Amino acid sequence: MSARIKTDDQVIVVGGKDRGKRGRVLRVEPGKHRVYVEGLNMVKRHQRPQQVAGAQRAEQVGGVIEKEGPIHISNVMLIDPRDDKPTRIGIEFEDGKRYRVAKRSGARLD
């Protein structure tokens, strides 16, 4: 089954520590059923400075960096473009093309 949530979709988190928060999807990993949402589920990572061959100093700064962590796809819902509330997603076919449709309002998302 393909993920019905795609990159750049606006979603709301319905479960977990960030419940109720909204954001834009940065990345989707359909094989692992995970999404990365901008500014949500922030995790700290210790990172070494990366040395590029031939360069005098580090290209990438090291230290403790914060970045988005993965959220399970079942814990996010797409925001309906018509009434700005969470909605489930259906699939419609028209003229051989596949469209995502908001179940709440019937609005097309693609």
| Cα separation of the two ends of the chain | 18
* DSSP-derived secondary structure for 24-61: EEEEEETTTTEEEETTSSEEEEEEPPBPPTT-SS-SB-
Q: Walk me through the domains of the chain, giving residue ranges and CATH numbers.
A: 10-79 (2.30.30.30), 82-110 (no CATH)
Global confidence as pTM? 0.82
Q: Which residue do the tokens 């993965």 mark?
A: 70
Tokens of 96: 């051989």
Cα pseudo-dihedral 42, 45, 48, 54, rounded to 10? -30
Q: Which residue do the tokens 């709440």 mark?
A: 104
How many residues in the chain?
110
Tens place of pLDDT per residue across the chain (110 aa):
567 899 999 999 999 899 999 999 999 999 999 999 999 999 999 988 877 776 666 677 788 999 999 999 999 999 998 999 999 999 999 999 999 999 999 888 87
| Predicted pLDDT of residue 57 | 67
